Amino acid sequence: MQQLKLALTRLVEQQDQYNQAYGLFQNHDLRPRVLPVQPEVDKRISLSPELEYLYSHYEMVDAQAEGTLKIKSAAVEIGDAALLFFVAPEHLHRQQLGFRWIGMQEPFEESDSWPPHHVVIANVNDDPIIVDVKAPHSPVYAAFEGGESRPVASSLADFFTALAILIESACSLGGEVKDEETYETKPEYLVQVQPKLRELLGEVHTKHLIEYLSL
Protein backbone atom coordinates (compact mmCIF):
# COMPACT_ATOMS: atom_id res chain seq x y z
CA MET A 1 0.00 0.00 0.00
CA GLN A 2 3.02 2.25 0.38
CA GLN A 3 3.31 2.66 -3.39
CA LEU A 4 -0.32 3.77 -3.61
CA LYS A 5 0.19 6.22 -0.76
CA LEU A 6 3.19 7.75 -2.54
CA ALA A 7 1.36 7.84 -5.87
CA LEU A 8 -1.65 9.64 -4.40
CA THR A 9 0.57 12.13 -2.58
CA ARG A 10 2.38 12.89 -5.84
CA LEU A 11 -0.87 13.19 -7.79
CA VAL A 12 -2.39 15.65 -5.32
CA GLU A 13 0.82 17.71 -5.30
CA GLN A 14 0.79 17.98 -9.10
CA GLN A 15 -2.97 18.59 -9.14
CA ASP A 16 -2.60 21.47 -6.68
CA GLN A 17 0.31 23.06 -8.53
CA TYR A 18 -1.57 22.88 -11.81
CA ASN A 19 -4.81 24.18 -10.33
CA GLN A 20 -3.08 27.10 -8.66
CA ALA A 21 -1.54 28.23 -11.94
CA TYR A 22 -3.98 27.15 -14.63
CA GLY A 23 -6.93 25.27 -13.14
CA LEU A 24 -10.45 25.88 -14.38
CA PHE A 25 -12.24 24.46 -11.31
CA GLN A 26 -12.51 25.63 -7.73
CA ASN A 27 -13.34 23.28 -4.83
CA HIS A 28 -13.73 20.38 -7.24
CA ASP A 29 -10.73 18.14 -6.65
CA LEU A 30 -9.13 15.26 -4.79
CA ARG A 31 -8.20 16.06 -1.19
CA PRO A 32 -6.54 14.02 1.59
CA ARG A 33 -8.74 13.51 4.64
CA VAL A 34 -7.56 14.70 8.05
CA LEU A 35 -8.54 11.32 9.49
CA PRO A 36 -9.45 8.09 7.67
CA VAL A 37 -13.15 7.24 7.44
CA GLN A 38 -15.19 4.18 6.57
CA PRO A 39 -16.31 4.86 2.97
CA GLU A 40 -20.03 4.80 2.24
CA VAL A 41 -20.43 2.37 -0.66
CA ASP A 42 -23.42 0.45 -2.01
CA LYS A 43 -23.24 -3.04 -0.47
CA ARG A 44 -23.47 -4.65 -3.92
CA ILE A 45 -20.15 -3.11 -4.94
CA SER A 46 -16.94 -4.74 -3.77
CA LEU A 47 -13.83 -2.69 -3.06
CA SER A 48 -10.27 -3.87 -3.40
CA PRO A 49 -7.80 -2.99 -0.61
CA GLU A 50 -6.44 -0.23 -2.87
CA LEU A 51 -9.85 1.33 -3.47
CA GLU A 52 -10.63 0.98 0.23
CA TYR A 53 -7.47 2.98 0.94
CA LEU A 54 -8.32 5.63 -1.67
CA TYR A 55 -11.83 6.25 -0.40
CA SER A 56 -10.97 6.07 3.30
CA HIS A 57 -7.99 8.45 3.06
CA TYR A 58 -9.12 10.83 0.29
CA GLU A 59 -12.31 12.64 -0.53
CA MET A 60 -13.74 14.01 -3.76
CA VAL A 61 -14.47 17.67 -3.07
CA ASP A 62 -17.27 19.02 -5.24
CA ALA A 63 -18.79 22.24 -3.93
CA GLN A 64 -21.38 22.43 -6.70
CA ALA A 65 -22.75 18.99 -5.89
CA GLU A 66 -23.34 19.66 -2.19
CA GLY A 67 -27.03 19.57 -1.37
CA THR A 68 -28.03 18.47 -4.88
CA LEU A 69 -28.74 15.21 -6.71
CA LYS A 70 -25.62 15.71 -8.86
CA ILE A 71 -22.98 12.96 -8.73
CA LYS A 72 -20.19 14.17 -6.47
CA SER A 73 -16.83 13.91 -8.21
CA ALA A 74 -13.29 15.30 -8.32
CA ALA A 75 -12.09 16.94 -11.53
CA VAL A 76 -8.50 16.16 -12.52
CA GLU A 77 -7.15 18.25 -15.40
CA ILE A 78 -4.34 17.21 -17.72
CA GLY A 79 -3.68 20.59 -19.27
CA ASP A 80 -6.13 21.47 -22.01
CA ALA A 81 -6.04 17.86 -23.23
CA ALA A 82 -8.20 15.80 -20.88
CA LEU A 83 -10.47 16.09 -17.88
CA LEU A 84 -11.08 13.10 -15.60
CA PHE A 85 -13.93 12.91 -13.11
CA PHE A 86 -13.35 10.61 -10.13
CA VAL A 87 -16.63 9.67 -8.49
CA ALA A 88 -17.15 9.83 -4.73
CA PRO A 89 -17.69 6.40 -3.12
CA GLU A 90 -21.29 7.17 -2.09
CA HIS A 91 -22.12 7.64 -5.78
CA LEU A 92 -20.31 4.59 -7.15
CA HIS A 93 -23.60 2.78 -7.75
CA ARG A 94 -24.77 5.50 -10.12
CA GLN A 95 -21.45 5.37 -11.94
CA GLN A 96 -22.02 1.67 -12.74
CA LEU A 97 -25.31 2.38 -14.54
CA GLY A 98 -25.03 1.56 -18.21
CA PHE A 99 -22.15 -0.81 -17.48
CA ARG A 100 -22.84 -3.33 -14.71
CA TRP A 101 -26.49 -2.35 -14.36
CA ILE A 102 -28.74 -1.50 -17.29
CA GLY A 103 -32.28 -0.20 -17.65
CA MET A 104 -34.16 3.07 -17.32
CA GLN A 105 -35.16 2.87 -13.64
CA GLU A 106 -34.96 0.77 -10.49
CA PRO A 107 -34.80 -2.15 -10.25
CA PHE A 108 -31.97 -2.10 -12.79
CA GLU A 109 -31.01 -5.35 -14.50
CA GLU A 110 -27.51 -6.71 -14.02
CA SER A 111 -25.65 -7.05 -17.31
CA ASP A 112 -24.68 -10.57 -18.38
CA SER A 113 -21.56 -9.30 -20.11
CA TRP A 114 -20.13 -6.95 -17.46
CA PRO A 115 -17.91 -8.59 -14.79
CA PRO A 116 -19.19 -7.54 -11.34
CA HIS A 117 -15.60 -7.21 -10.13
CA HIS A 118 -15.02 -4.42 -12.67
CA VAL A 119 -15.82 -1.18 -10.87
CA VAL A 120 -16.05 2.11 -12.76
CA ILE A 121 -14.36 4.78 -10.63
CA ALA A 122 -13.95 7.64 -13.11
CA ASN A 123 -14.62 8.77 -16.65
CA VAL A 124 -13.38 10.99 -19.44
CA ASN A 125 -16.20 12.20 -21.68
CA ASP A 126 -18.35 9.41 -20.17
CA ASP A 127 -15.80 6.76 -21.22
CA PRO A 128 -15.07 4.68 -18.11
CA ILE A 129 -11.97 4.09 -16.03
CA ILE A 130 -12.35 0.63 -14.53
CA VAL A 131 -10.64 -1.12 -11.61
CA ASP A 132 -10.51 -4.91 -11.34
CA VAL A 133 -11.17 -5.31 -7.63
CA LYS A 134 -10.39 -9.06 -7.62
CA ALA A 135 -6.91 -8.91 -9.12
CA PRO A 136 -3.85 -8.12 -6.97
CA HIS A 137 -2.89 -4.42 -6.82
CA SER A 138 -6.14 -3.34 -8.58
CA PRO A 139 -5.17 -3.14 -12.27
CA VAL A 140 -6.85 -0.38 -14.25
CA TYR A 141 -8.65 -0.54 -17.59
CA ALA A 142 -10.18 2.06 -19.87
CA ALA A 143 -12.91 1.74 -22.46
CA PHE A 144 -13.43 4.41 -25.09
CA GLU A 145 -15.85 5.13 -27.90
CA GLY A 146 -18.03 2.20 -26.89
CA GLY A 147 -15.24 -0.34 -27.41
CA GLU A 148 -13.89 -3.09 -25.20
CA SER A 149 -11.92 -2.20 -22.10
CA ARG A 150 -8.14 -2.18 -22.47
CA PRO A 151 -5.49 -2.34 -19.75
CA VAL A 152 -3.80 0.98 -18.98
CA ALA A 153 -1.96 0.18 -15.73
CA SER A 154 -1.00 -2.95 -13.80
CA SER A 155 -1.95 -1.31 -10.51
CA LEU A 156 -3.94 1.61 -9.15
CA ALA A 157 -0.68 3.06 -7.85
CA ASP A 158 0.85 3.04 -11.34
CA PHE A 159 -2.27 4.67 -12.77
CA PHE A 160 -2.14 7.58 -10.32
CA THR A 161 1.60 7.95 -10.86
CA ALA A 162 0.99 8.13 -14.61
CA LEU A 163 -1.56 10.90 -14.10
CA ALA A 164 0.92 12.81 -11.96
CA ILE A 165 3.52 12.54 -14.76
CA LEU A 166 1.02 13.82 -17.32
CA ILE A 167 -0.06 16.75 -15.16
CA GLU A 168 3.51 17.73 -14.27
CA SER A 169 4.49 17.90 -17.94
CA ALA A 170 1.32 19.82 -18.79
CA CYS A 171 2.21 22.35 -16.11
CA SER A 172 5.71 22.75 -17.58
CA LEU A 173 4.07 23.78 -20.87
CA GLY A 174 1.80 26.31 -19.25
CA GLY A 175 -1.15 23.97 -19.42
CA GLU A 176 -1.15 24.10 -23.22
CA VAL A 177 -0.81 20.50 -24.34
CA LYS A 178 -2.78 20.87 -27.58
CA ASP A 179 -1.94 23.01 -30.61
CA GLU A 180 -4.48 25.84 -30.76
CA GLU A 181 -5.00 25.54 -34.53
CA THR A 182 -4.90 21.78 -35.17
CA TYR A 183 -5.84 20.61 -31.66
CA GLU A 184 -3.20 17.94 -32.08
CA THR A 185 -1.06 17.10 -29.05
CA LYS A 186 2.15 19.09 -29.09
CA PRO A 187 5.16 16.91 -30.01
CA GLU A 188 7.22 18.38 -27.17
CA TYR A 189 4.64 17.16 -24.67
CA LEU A 190 4.75 13.62 -26.00
CA VAL A 191 8.56 13.71 -26.02
CA GLN A 192 8.42 14.52 -22.31
CA VAL A 193 5.80 12.02 -21.18
CA GLN A 194 6.14 8.95 -23.38
CA PRO A 195 9.54 7.70 -22.11
CA LYS A 196 8.44 8.13 -18.49
CA LEU A 197 5.15 6.37 -19.09
CA ARG A 198 6.79 3.50 -20.95
CA GLU A 199 9.24 3.00 -18.09
CA LEU A 200 6.37 2.98 -15.58
CA LEU A 201 3.57 1.23 -17.47
CA GLY A 202 5.19 -0.61 -20.36
CA GLU A 203 4.69 -0.09 -24.08
CA VAL A 204 1.18 -1.55 -24.44
CA HIS A 205 -0.36 0.13 -21.42
CA THR A 206 1.18 3.46 -22.43
CA LYS A 207 -0.29 3.17 -25.91
CA HIS A 208 -3.75 2.43 -24.52
CA LEU A 209 -3.61 5.28 -21.99
CA ILE A 210 -2.51 7.83 -24.58
CA GLU A 211 -5.27 6.68 -26.94
CA TYR A 212 -7.86 6.84 -24.17
CA LEU A 213 -6.87 10.39 -23.23
CA SER A 214 -6.69 11.39 -26.93
CA LEU A 215 -3.09 12.54 -26.56
State residue 144's pLDDT score. 86
State residue 38's pLDDT score. 95
Ranges of each domain in the chain: 2-212
Cα gap 215→213, rounded to integer Å: 5
- If you average pLDDT over every residue of the chain, what do you get? 94
Q: What are phi and psi of 178, to 5 degrees?
A: -100, 145
Over residues 176-204, mean pLDDT: 95
Per-residue pLDDT of 95-142, as tens digits, reads 999 899 887 677 788 888 899 999 999 999 999 999 999 999 999 999
**With pLDDT > 90 as the criterion, what percentage of the chain qualifies?**
82
Cα gap 86→89, rounded to integer Å: 9
Distance of CA 35 to the CA centre of its chain: 23
- Which CATH architecture does the domain made up of 2-212 adopt? 3-Layer(aba) Sandwich (3.40)
Over residues 66-89, mean pLDDT: 93
Q: Are 132 and 126 in contact (CB under 8 A)?
A: no
State residue 40's pLDDT score. 92
Q: Is the pLDDT of residue 66 over 90?
A: no
What pTM did the predictor assign?
Answer: 0.96
pLDDT band at 22 (very low <50, low <70, confident <90, very high): very high
